[in-house]
Amino acid sequence: MLIGVIADDFTGASDIASALASGVEGKGGLSTVQFLGIPDGVAPTGIDAGVVSLKSRSIAAREAVRQSVAAADWLIKAGVEQIIFKYCSTFDSTPQGNIGPVAEALADRLGASKVIFCPSFPANGRTVYQGNLFVHDVPLAESGMAHHPLTPMRDSDIRRVLQSQAARRVGHLPYQVVQGGAQSIKKALAQMEAPFVVVDAISDCNLVQLAESQASAPLVTGGSAIAAGLAENFIRRGHARSGQFHGETIDGPEIVIAGSCSGATLGQIEYHRASHPEMAIDVDAVMSGEVDADTYLPFLLENAGNAPLLHSSAPQNVLERIQKHYGSSKVAARLDRLFGDIAAKAVAHGVRRVVVAGGETSGAVANALGFSSLRVGKQIDPGVPVLISTTEKPVALALKSGNFGAPDFFEKALNTMVTS
């Protein structure tokens, strides 16, 4: 393997796997496999990039560090030349969060004296300017992420957020330098004393130039969008050939599960329910133990062929009531367990295509299904590829971050699985 990725959640892992496989401008990147958790044994042969999916974004920092360093150790044994620490393009974290501690531990493990931080993902409206993160044209702290149930982002200045978590000093590389190109970036970074550097980027071109400047860096951190340029570095040097995504097609019964309450997912639910069967989970009944996976499984199986949608998403006022009454972490844990059970039972009953909306929900489903690795296929929407299990009877998955995807994402994902 040439590139190894440590991703702090499952949808983020799929996101960056897609970028590595698609390459710059979708022209083709690296042969990529996504691993669900830290793999056992030796790495498979014949792949250029391996993405280790952790579920470490919202856990205690010490445990996140332990898991991330263990993932790095496995990737180093696999022979990778560069490691990417991938976090969300909205820098999901808190003052007690994991991005700083994990980055410091990985820098120590890899001997990285200068590490960049760039969550920018222009295709999905995430950009960094003057050290501040924007969601489309709205500062992060004024976007819907300010109300995230687990990692509310109430400061748009990524420098301050990162510095609150890290012992190392945090610097800033402004857009005026970035637009000068790879050599300008490289020179400026070499002259900076701060070991951690938040980098401005407002376009894919900026990210390609930034990636070129990091061709020899042992550790890079950021969102998924920089990965295409990092893959191109190896292709340019002749270490890999482009066009390596897996094009396997999967047909058969399908289900759609949504556990996200983001604006994008709520819009996708409204779009899908207009022409497909839909059922909302009764969260109060779930919390009281009145319902379980067997309560909802018949709806999905009976409507196979019509892209049935099961969701727990709710408007902000309903969400706030539920979280206040039961506690947000307890609600999230109970729903994650329920969705995982439902998905596992559905696949056991012959379901072959599974679409999941929401980072935590995707992680729960992936864990419950028990797949050890997934081949990365065609991109559905920016940041979301088709993933195909390496099992004897393959299952196709789409694991979507809550904020990603077009309004018709659910149906598009199911169709792409059949036509990859």
CATH number of 395's domain: 3.40.980.20
Q: Is residue 345 part of a domain?
A: yes
Per the domain annotation, does 202 fall within a domain?
Answer: yes
Are 109 and 45 found together in one domain? Answer: yes
In a domain, 334, yes or no: yes
In this structure, how many other beta carbons lie within 10 angstroms of the beta carbon of residue 155? 18
Q: How far apart are the first and last CA of the chain?
A: 25
Q: Model's pTM, two decimal places?
A: 0.82
In 3D space, the residue among 15, 401, 2, 10 whose CA is nearest the CA of residue 223 turns out to be: 15
Do 263 and 219 lie in one domain? The reply is no
Residue-level pLDDT, tens digit, the chain, 420 residues = 999 999 998 888 988 999 999 888 877 789 899 999 999 888 888 889 999 999 898 889 999 999 999 999 999 999 999 999 999 888 988 677 899 999 999 999 999 999 999 999 998 899 999 999 999 999 998 988 877 777 888 899 999 999 999 999 999 999 999 999 999 999 999 999 999 999 999 999 999 999 999 999 999 999 999 999 999 999 999 888 766 555 678 999 999 999 988 889 999 999 999 999 999 999 999 999 999 999 999 999 999 999 999 999 877 788 888 888 999 889 989 999 999 999 999 999 999 999 999 988 988 998 899 998 998 888 899 889 899 998 889 999 999 988 889 999 999 999 999 986
What's the confidence (pLDDT) of residue 403?
84
Same domain, 27 and 81: yes
Residues 62 and 211 in one domain: yes
d(CA 263, CA 143): 10
Q: Are residues 179 and 84 in the same domain?
A: yes
Residue spans of beta strands (DSSP E) within 28-114 = 32-36, 49-53, 82-86
The alpha-carbon radius of gyration of the chain (Å, integer) is 20
Confirm whether 243 is domain-assigned.
no
Chain centroid to Cα 231, Å, comes to 17
Indicate whether 121 and 198 sit together in one domain: yes
CATH of the domain at 174: 3.40.50.10840
Judgement on whether residues 109 and 41 belong to the same structural domain of the protein: yes
Cα–Cα distance measured from residue 339 to residue 213, given in angstroms and rounded to the nearest whole number: 42
Domain that holds residue 309: 254-419
Quote the CA–CA distance of 20 and 17 in Å, as a whole number: 5
**Which one of 189, 204, 236 terminates a domain?**
236
- Is 322 a member of any domain? yes
Q: Do residues 190 and 88 touch, judged by C-beta distance below 8 A?
A: no
- Total count of domains within the chain: 2
Q: Give the pLDDT of residue 247.
A: 65
Are 104 and 201 contained in the same domain? Answer: yes
Helix/strand/coil for 354: strand
Residues 6+ apart with CB under 8 A from 332: 149, 150, 360
